[in-house]
Structure 1
Amino acid sequence: MEIEFNYNSLASLIAAAEKSGLPVSRLVLMQQAEQMEQSEDEIYRHMEETYRVMASCIEPGCAPDLRSTSGLTGGSAYKMSQVSKSGKSLTGSLLSGALYRALAVSELNASMGRIVAAPTAGSCGILPAALLTMQEEREIPERDCVMALFTASAVGIVIANNASLAGAQGGCQAECGSAAAMAAAAVTELAGGTPAMISHAVAIALKNILGLVCDPVAGLVEIPCIKRNASGVAGAFVAAELALAGIESAIPADEVIWAMKKVGDTMPTALKETAEGGLAATPTGRRLHEQVFGTAADGLTGGCAACGGCPSR
């Protein structure tokens, strides 16, 4: 079967899936095998290895004594996992399970563990948490979860081709936003959603995180990045739930991606991974920089208005 599509737009991919009657993941696997001149089994096995690296992050990431190199973070995944496994979670095992897995991968990253950048190290917890939670809590076969990675990857490629995946270029909307959109697409397919529902899930996930800045405290991918991974996977499930209910995004996914690009282009440099604005410029953010590096943060401007906490300059 010869199906033509490209990664210049999500609409092209969705239209091809609808025309062929195949899941997006299957279509992408076929195309990648042809493009890379490998068998579908070879391409699948490579993605399977990636998925198993993701899965291997959870246990070490939940260790109670895990701490980042800077000493600023660690132990949150353990706390969240204990609540989730106790059955006393406010949001139930699905969401609380996704939260602790997202924290686990992110905290393992901060402690220099082995992770999969999905699509970046700063957003590494969102996609693994979504898929592994679906496998564990909804008893989805591993093979289906691996296949869903092809759907997620296709969404990531479209975003990369039309906007950005880098916080330094587009803010955290480009990192955690893209990861949330990729995860929403994967979850929607795993839950039996149509290609059109996948597109709406991507649009909803992205627009709900539109404009999010990248403001790492002390310039490290820890604060607030780790908790934004938890928020990102929650947003992915929200988007998937809405799309699966038949709720549509008034703005098409490709236009949301275009808007994300425009927002990133107009975002001040201080809010794009420079650690010069946002939370990094708060009194506590500046203090933590000095705690880690032993010197005051240079070049930080802004901060909280009229709180009296910032040193005089």
Structure 2
Amino acid sequence: MRAYEDWVVEAESKGLKISSVVLQNQIEELELSGEALFDRMGNNLKVMRESVKIGLSGKRRSASGLVGGDAAKVEEHRKSGSTLIGEVMSGVIAKALAVAEVNASMGRIVAAPTAGSCGVLPAVLFTLEEIFHSDEKELLSALFTAAGLGIIITERANVSGAEGGCQAEIGSAAAMSAAAAVELAGGSPRQTAHGAAIALKSMLGLVCDPVAGLVEVPCVKRNATGAMIALTAAEMALAGVKSAIPIDEVIDTMAEIGHQMSCSLKETAQGGLAATPTGRKIRADFL
């Protein structure tokens, strides 16, 4: 079983970024050229960018009527200058909601790592693009770092809400985004590991309880909070804050928690918020 620590050690020993190690690994495993892989990732980045734009327009609504328009509300509030947390952080929330709303309305998104967690990574990447004026190659490299961690999580645990709860979806997305953010901000391979670990630790035990069985409530808003946790974790890692528990052990712990979690809290819509009086009423009205 692969470990993220192995990639960190390799990157440190060769003076490389995590993204370079991941890219070489994928070149060998998939038997594709680096150019071909960058082209693939470029298409993913394009779809992410389009989904942010579409979601921020406020024109998309889900079939249930539960989701749609909130991203535009947050964006309008951000532009008004009255935001509590500043325009940058408010923008993160708006972008994350935007992509998740496009997903809920059956639009085109990139599962990163899942459809239910699709808004976290784009929100983080495009926010940092604005801050650092990153070029496309830098963004694509950050995506390879995120993808590399996603590979490790999939092998050591899973990214499925039905298997591991929302910690496996939004938690994994937050960890992947934190690692990508650290690299994009100029952090070391070791710091990407600390950022990812801090992010994932913060979401351990999060249940998957979609109201009416739809990937809408509370899923969409969790994308926004997941993106904020990712940036918080990245900020700490870049400042030199370390995770006492290594990322691979945090991933293994997530898997174990998922095994212990009741099936009613793993995407079955039988527990959690889905089982509240309002949650049951929404289900009855929708069905």
TM-score by length of 2: 0.98
Q: CA offsets per residue over residues 264-297 of structure 1, 9 Å max, x none?
A: 100000000000000000000001001111xxxx
Partner residue in 1 for 2:111:
117
* Counterparts of 2:158 and 2:16, CA distance in 1: 28
Higher relative contact order (CA 8 A, sep 6+): 2
1:15-164 correspondence to structure 2 within 5 Å: 15-164=9-158
Cα offsets for 1:41-86 (capped at 9, x unmatched) = 1111110111111000012112233211111111100001112233
CA distance in 1, matches of 2:87, 2:22: 31
Separation in 2, partners of 1:167, 1:173: 7
Deviation string 1:163-198 (CA, Å, 9 cap, x unpaired) is: 110000000000000000000000000011101101
What is the SS of the residue equivalent to 2:108?
A: coil
Equivalence for 1:311: none
1:255 corresponds to which of 249, 254, 262: 249
The residue matched to 1:112 in structure 2 has which SS? coil
Q: Pick from 202, 205, 228: which aligns with 1:208?
A: 202
- Provide, for residues 247-269 of structure 1, a one-character-per-residue CA deviation record: whole Å limited to 9, x for no partner: 00111111111111111100000
RMSD (Å) for aligned C-alpha atoms: 1.0
CA contact (8 A) 1:185 1:202 kept: yes
Specify the SS of the correspondent of 1:116.
coil
Query: Equivalent residue for 1:300?
Result: none
Percentage of identical aligned residues:
53
Cα distance in structure 2, aligned partners of 1:178 and 1:259: 13
Find 1:176's aligned residue among 170, 173, 182: 170
Note if contact 1:93-1:137 (Cα within 8 Å) is conserved in structure 2. no
How many Å separate the matches in 1 of 2:277 and 2:157? Answer: 33
SS of residue in 1 equivalent to 2:220: helix
Q: Which moved more, 1:35-44 or 1:226-235?
A: 35-44
Q: Secondary structure at the match of 1:122?
A: helix
Amino acid at match of 1:110: A
Alignment of 1:211-222 (within 5 A): 211-222=205-216
Counterpart for residue 198 of structure 1: 192
The answer to which of 38-47 and 170-179 deviates more is 38-47
Question: How far did residue 99 of structure 1 move?
Answer: 0.7
Structure 2 alignment gaps of length 5 or more: none
Greater shift, 250-259 or 58-67, is seen at 58-67
Supply the AA of the counterpart residue of 1:187. A
Residue segments in structure 1 that go unaligned for 5+ positions in a row: 1-6, 294-313
| Partner deviation per Cα, 1:194-230 (whole Å, 9 max, x = no partner) | 0110100111000000000000000000000000000
Hey, what's the Cα distance between the residues in 1 that align with 2:258 and 2:126? 30
Q: Distance in 1 between matches of 2:130 and 2:207?
A: 32
Range moving further from structure 2, 214-223 or 51-60: 51-60
Distance in 2 of aligned mates of 1:138 and 1:83: 23
Structure 1 counterpart SS, 2:115:
coil
The runs of at least 4 aligned residues of structure 1 exceeding 6 Å deviation read none
Amino acid at match of 2:207: V
Matched, 1:226 2:220: yes
Q: Which AA in structure 2 matches 1:281?
A: A
* SS across alignment from 1:168: helix
